[in-house]
Amino acid sequence: MFLQKPVKPDWKKVLLGFLLLAIMVLVLDVGCMFRRITGVPCPGCGMTRACFAAMRFDFKQAFYYHPLWILPAPLALAVVFFPRGVFVSPRAEKIAAIVLLGLVLGVYAVRMILLFPDTPPMEYQSENLLYWLASLVGLV
């Protein structure tokens, strides 16, 4: 058999995880911690806005904010139903992880080339922690 058998998830933990994630995204409005620290957008920047656009069935806007907006839902389901991994073979698991990582980094590179530093969601955040620290010690 190529794929693992799905397990019955602990729905209380799944619900608690989604609830905590929703609180973090909606109430705290933390945004991207990577961008707050470095000023540079991360490979996931725009994903939340893309998923909200997809929930409004505005798929053009979803692809604009993040072309890989379709991935989080199946990945979350895979984590819930296949906690030991999707594939039986460790080699297949490793190949899938490498392909996924390559896809994410490739899309990130294209978005950085086309949109950085001034087009949302890939804009530079001038008020970032590294810049603030550098200004404290007189580097900038």
- Per CB under 5 A, the segment of 29-37, 84-92, 93-101, 130-138 that binds Zn ion is 29-37
Q: How many CB atoms lie within 10 A of CB 136?
A: 9
80 binds Zn ion (CB under 5 A): no
3 state SS of 3 = strand
- Is the Cβ of residue 32 or residue 68 nearer to Zn ion in the bound state? 32
42 binds Zn ion (CB under 5 A): yes
Name 68's Cβ contacts closer than 8 Å, sequence gap at least 6: 47, 103, 104, 107
68 binds Zn ion (CB under 5 A): no
32 binds Zn ion (CB under 5 A): yes
CB of 45 to Zn ion, least distance (A): 3
50 binds Zn ion (CB under 5 A): no
d(C-alpha 72, C-alpha 84), whole Å: 18
- The pairs formed by 104-107 with CB atoms below 8 angstroms and a separation of 24 or more are 104/43, 104/68, 105/43, 107/43, 107/67, 107/68
45 binds Zn ion (CB under 5 A): yes
- Is the Cβ of residue 16 or residue 100 nearer to Zn ion in the bound state? 100
Residues in touch with Zn ion (CB under 5 A): 32, 42, 44-45
